[in-house]
Structure 1
């Protein structure tokens, strides 16, 4: 397989890198609101009959849009695929991981590993081979517009699903305004504030597999200040052997409004987690007994600990005048990791700092509306290291004392993006978008023990973007764009060089290799709107990808909890992202609705010397979610939903597949009208289907069954209650 690093052809096994650590149509329903959103909160014009009498008192009402609605209007101005998730809808059922939060999002493939935080997350094929025990790759992840993603990727333990007001999903280059230049785009989690949260709220969930989760939160406005704080705690024994997961987290923010034009908000997140590691199973093992774990990791008692990750941030907003605004933000992140999965223990330390500057303004140019945004985004490693120690007394470690240092490596990286974007209304409701970014990136890795070696890369790139959006009527809009994407390797992925062939460090990488930046040119067209009680969003995209960063597991790399990394020969990513929400029947007492989300993904090589036009493994070509939902004005609701996946290739030669599957779920609950009180009951995987939810592919199967699958949960029952008071 010609996965090349520079000009060389990679043979997997030669290079091993250690594993580092709302609905989709809501934003489009009001697509015309982009040009009128600022007017929607202004006093309405009084009718002529009222204006005729000066002696009469004129009462003007001001309609205040919710933060979620404001975000939906803003996303509607982007000429491409976006969606917004209102947590009020998500909270009507179980919320254990981000697989629950991000369901029903077209173009987003997300599955949980054993019910833990280690997800498989991919948008438009980003990071499709990245395993569940790794930092996330290919998607910019943010809290309140501030980056969590670092030069190492994105540590996942901070992403608690409770304590979120809404979530923005910007697929592909449509994340440009946030500096999201990677192939997958960006996801922005927005937290409640004292202005939007209940004064006191408590929530509890429990159910199968010894699952329980609790949350208490509080928010209030005190003069010019406001605060929000949420505490969460969870435990799950696990459906599969050795998948117990526990967590404790804090999510807090404090805002202060100096005056009508200047405000600032401080953020703090803390979360500690522990997740069991079951390894991977073969197809027959999944079908016969998905509760079993890989025997090697049972014997090693594999698990991963995040002993306490911390994230501090601040965002200051300065409204210069009625037409311009400046946002200044920074954050500091400390993410220690202790991986006890394989024959060696991996201790990681990551401390990073990031800063953002965004200046936006609205103008009139030659009588036409013009909206401009200039941004600077920078992320830098302050401290990044990894130490491997022995944790067994067998094989090559028979005479090595526990805790002996086998290898130590340091990593470095910085990302700097300078971007500018302009939306110009060429004629009524027809907008042109022009944008461009300069990219300055550095990566390095340095092995200091048992031997010494180092490698570093630096590069400068240009990432342009152009698009259009035409609101044909208040009910229909069309859009299109041509964009470049830019994705450097995670800093730890460079440690993919030669292996130690003797001594206690045998099998570990002794040096790094240079990996090229992954780039792509993407063409996208789509439409959104609403007609006859139907709300839709459909996008088609085609990406020509160069130097795609791919990974694979081999038996040797898996033994050390690793994967191999290199650049691929040219590949193609194309697909369809569609969502449809329909009101089937409406009456005075409620409605019966249907929501659907469908993703088609065709990712394949272009004339690869080894695999020709083979499909890239790890992701299903077809993925569908649909739900029939009953909502009564009395407060009762119920829904029956299905998740359908086509078969998934588990090897690069496309001869070994995880079977297709259908999963059925039922959810019901009651919300007290006018009160923030709710109960729900969920029944998941009603048919107790045995299926592989996650595939981390091997290299070549040759008809053999590879242990590259992780099972989804079997039948489970979950219930919850939430009480809010003001």
Structure 2
């Protein structure tokens, strides 16, 4: 069944003219579109880590929706969660739940998940954050630590062996070759929020270093949502020659977070600060201690060929009292090798990227009864879960015209899941599954001019189930299959002096979509395969200078907007027919009008708007309401060493709203599926750089 997308005519009109746009404006401290200059091989200060401009040039060789978000877009505000970093990227639905926790979905990936995240491959400096089975929490992501963030939507994440509907996100830290000698900040605000961060970096001949650490605490908007975190990230590079560089990474995190839980819609809107009573009784928490080490080495073999390779290891100890008291150790390890060859063949430019990724891991898990007050009771389950994943990929861009490339790629994924049950009094829950998937891709990339691109592609993605919720080892669900999708995409991006844009139109036809349905209060969701579903939509970003030199020479007013339209539905399902898929609003809008003065002063209002209700269950019986939030920010950032600061008010009208939902197969008014959004809040911060 085909459903038409409202605004398709608008999207096609935009693409055919000089289309819509985003990046939060070339003038407002966010991202500027920089298209590849194929006539010049850029010299890089670090072989292993491109700077922001180089990363932007590199990513835009992709014939699909991708984006680089500079730290200037998120460090000049209360950078607490991933929403503060990616909330202005069209197609990304990022909503805070409580504390540092956030739900992230790209193009409807992991729609049904409201604890943990699935469907997006997360990386830190190219090192996986996901556990080896694909599940990921975002507590370890510290927005103040990164130079930029790369977003690859859908199968456009081929270079990372991306194997999911949502694609990949890579958080990239500075190196000593582009970091300040000192960068420190203090942020504070409503609901007991206080954060401090400091970093240092430098280079001495072939050696460079970067170290950053942060600590924060908060009471939380809701009862029983307080927490504190400590995070450390560092990297140390050594350049053996202009063509050989190696870099070592070290990360450590200590996370303590209480959980308030989902509540009924009535409670979320009328008593939004109250936690669920059962979550309080059991003192539900998520506590994580983790260490990550890695190495990446880059060899420039000649003027045309570069080789990158590396290894990593991660250890996490998770103490997680929820419906049961989970105590488990996670050990992940792996490596990668990637070759890039860019040369002329028969008078035509040709660029080949090929690589192999390995990501294996083990989860040693003990589950106990959780007694009142969050105390361990008797052992209830014990198992060892092992995942093995290997992917091989290749992508070739052949420029049959100087400014038009035909791009063809493929990826093969082999994934193994094995569970060994050590608690046999309730039966042997051991099991194993193997998934093999081949994912081809073909596309075209047209550089209309040096600052304007048009692209199109057809791609396939595949995603194996995760271990959580006994999704494929328990006897009742051994038939859970991998989720596969075929995606059709067309779009454009570009930059003009007073105008920049980023637009994509896509349709994903999905088989066996993985849904994790809430079936009872206070228990994990149950994983099922939907039959056939469709995710289609429009992603449009715009930045336009509406006034220049209005009050003084060189000042400007910029209007910035990010619009996401999501039309997700069952396609002739035997139970749900053509119902809408729940969990994400059909339309999501971020917009601002920002005044910028050459001195570095900026000010302006912005809004977050969900114009339509959206469903919280497959049966389409209950909804989360539409809402609009009014925010205002004043900042000072001279874009040079010295002092900067901001004051920001959020949800100034104190609107009560639903930020995100867990989903169910069928729900009613008494279903506890809702997470209330944060009320009126004010934040301020100061920063010093030298």
Kept in 1: contact 2:371–2:377 (CA 8 A)? no
Task: Out of 465-474 and 688-697, give the one that drifted further.
Answer: 465-474
Whole-Å separation in 2 of the counterparts to 1:76 and 1:24: 17
Tell whether 2:305 aligns with 1:359.
no
SS at 1:128 equivalent: coil
Whole-Å separation in 1 of the counterparts to 2:244 and 2:295: 13
Q: Deviations over 1:587-619 (max 9, x none)?
A: 223111011101111111111111001111111
2:174 to 192, 216, 226: 192
Tell whether 2:553 aligns with 1:573.
no
Whole-Å separation in 1 of the counterparts to 2:539 and 2:326: 39
SS at 1:286 equivalent: helix
Aligned to 2:463: 487
Whole-Å separation in 2 of the counterparts to 1:531 and 1:221: 36
Tell me how far 1:474 sits from its aligned partner. 3.3
2:131 to 136, 150, 158: 150
Aligned to 2:58: 74
Change (3 A) 1:467 1:24: farther
Tell whether 2:557 aligns with 1:559.
no
Tell me how far 1:718 sits from its aligned partner. 0.6
Aligned to 2:439: 463
Whole-Å separation in 1 of the counterparts to 2:473 and 2:249: 39
Whole-Å separation in 2 of the counterparts to 1:155 and 1:265: 26
Alignment of 1:529-608 (within 5 A): 529-531=494-496, 533-555=498-520, 558-560=521-523, 562-587=524-549, 588-608=553-573
Change (3 A) 1:393 1:302: closer
Aligned to 1:379: 359
Tell me how far 1:231 sits from its aligned partner. 1.0
Whole-Å separation in 2 of the counterparts to 1:245 and 1:567: 35
Aligned to 2:387: 413
Aligned to 2:15: none
Tell me how far 1:494 sits from its aligned partner. 4.2
**TM norm structure 2:** 0.91
Alignment of 1:698-713 (within 5 A): 698-701=664-667, 703-713=668-678
Aligned to 2:348: 368
SS at 2:36 equivalent: helix
Whole-Å separation in 1 of the counterparts to 2:534 and 2:25: 27
Change (3 A) 1:290 1:436: same
Q: Deviations over 1:340-380 (max 9, x none)?
A: 122x2011211010211000111212210000011101100
Kept in 1: contact 2:607–2:631 (CA 8 A)? yes
SS at 1:600 equivalent: strand
Tell whether 2:395 aligns with 1:424.
no
Change (3 A) 1:688 1:488: same
Tell me how far 1:471 sits from its aligned partner. 1.7
1:111 to 75, 92, 95: 95
Whole-Å separation in 2 of the counterparts to 1:402 and 1:377: 39
Q: Deviations over 1:649-690 (max 9, x none)?
A: 111111100100101111111124632421110101010000
Aligned to 2:598: 633
**Which structure 2 segments of 5+ residues have no match?**
1-21
Whole-Å separation in 1 of the counterparts to 2:142 and 2:75: 13
Kept in 2: contact 1:494–1:513 (CA 8 A)? no
Tell whether 2:244 aligns with 1:265.
no
Q: Deviations over 1:504-533 (max 9, x none)?
A: xxxxxx876242111111000011223462
Tell me how far 1:387 sits from its aligned partner. 1.1
Aligned to 2:109: 126
**Which structure 1 segments of 5+ residues have no match?**
1-21, 43-64, 499-509
Kept in 2: contact 1:24–1:84 (CA 8 A)? no
Q: Deviations over 1:54-74 (max 9, x none)?
A: xxxxxxxxxxx9811111111
**TM norm structure 1:** 0.87
SS at 1:321 equivalent: coil
Change (3 A) 1:73 1:680: same
Whole-Å separation in 1 of the counterparts to 2:676 and 2:522: 20
Aligned to 1:12: none
Q: Deviations over 1:1-21 (max 9, x none)?
A: xxxxxxxxxxxxxxxxxxxxx
Whole-Å separation in 2 of the counterparts to 1:681 and 1:119: 23
SS at 1:285 equivalent: helix
1:679 to 620, 641, 645: 645
Whole-Å separation in 2 of the counterparts to 1:409 and 1:673: 53
Q: Deviations over 1:419-452 (max 9, x none)?
A: 0110110112011101111111111223220332
Kept in 2: contact 1:25–1:528 (CA 8 A)? no
Kept in 1: contact 2:326–2:366 (CA 8 A)? yes
Tell me how far 1:269 sits from its aligned partner. 0.8
Aligned to 2:449: 473
SS at 2:670 equivalent: coil
Change (3 A) 1:453 1:285: closer
Q: Deviations over 1:35-66 (max 9, x none)?
A: 2452x669xxxxxxxxxxxxxxxxxxxxxx98
Kept in 2: contact 1:25–1:537 (CA 8 A)? no
Whole-Å separation in 2 of the counterparts to 1:495 and 1:522: 26
Whole-Å separation in 2 of the counterparts to 1:28 and 1:592: 16
Kept in 2: contact 1:599–1:622 (CA 8 A)? yes
Whole-Å separation in 1 of the counterparts to 2:376 and 2:267: 33
Whole-Å separation in 2 of the counterparts to 1:196 and 1:91: 16
Whole-Å separation in 2 of the counterparts to 1:163 and 1:665: 25
Q: Deviations over 1:256-315 (max 9, x none)?
A: 111111110000111111111111111111221111111111222222211x11111110
Alignment of 1:130-529 (within 5 A): 130-132=113-115, 134=116, 136-152=117-133, 153-306=135-288, 308-342=289-323, 344-381=324-361, 383-392=362-371, 402-449=376-423, 450=425, 451-495=427-471, 513-529=478-494
SS at 1:292 equivalent: coil
Change (3 A) 1:30 1:690: closer
Kept in 1: contact 2:517–2:528 (CA 8 A)? no
Pairs aligned (count): 655
Aligned to 2:77: 93
Tell me how far 1:167 sits from its aligned partner. 0.5
Change (3 A) 1:243 1:30: closer
Whole-Å separation in 1 of the counterparts to 2:192 and 2:32: 41
SS at 1:73 equivalent: helix
Whole-Å separation in 2 of the counterparts to 1:207 and 1:423: 49
1:35 to 27, 38, 52: 38
Tell me how far 1:559 sits from its aligned partner. 2.6
Tell me how far 1:477 sits from its aligned partner. 2.2
Aligned to 1:697: 663
Kept in 1: contact 2:250–2:291 (CA 8 A)? yes
Change (3 A) 1:357 1:642: same
Kept in 1: contact 2:264–2:669 (CA 8 A)? no
Aligned to 2:12: none
Task: Out of 280-289 and 621-630, give the one that drifted further.
Answer: 280-289
SS at 1:618 equivalent: coil
Kept in 1: contact 2:454–2:491 (CA 8 A)? yes
Tell whether 2:684 aligns with 1:716.
no
Whole-Å separation in 2 of the counterparts to 1:245 and 1:212: 11
Aligned to 2:7: none
Whole-Å separation in 2 of the counterparts to 1:81 and 1:24: 16
SS at 1:69 equivalent: helix
Kept in 2: contact 1:416–1:439 (CA 8 A)? yes
Aligned to 1:14: none
Whole-Å separation in 2 of the counterparts to 1:248 and 1:472: 47
Change (3 A) 1:517 1:683: same
What is the aligned-residue RMSD (CA, Å)? 2.1
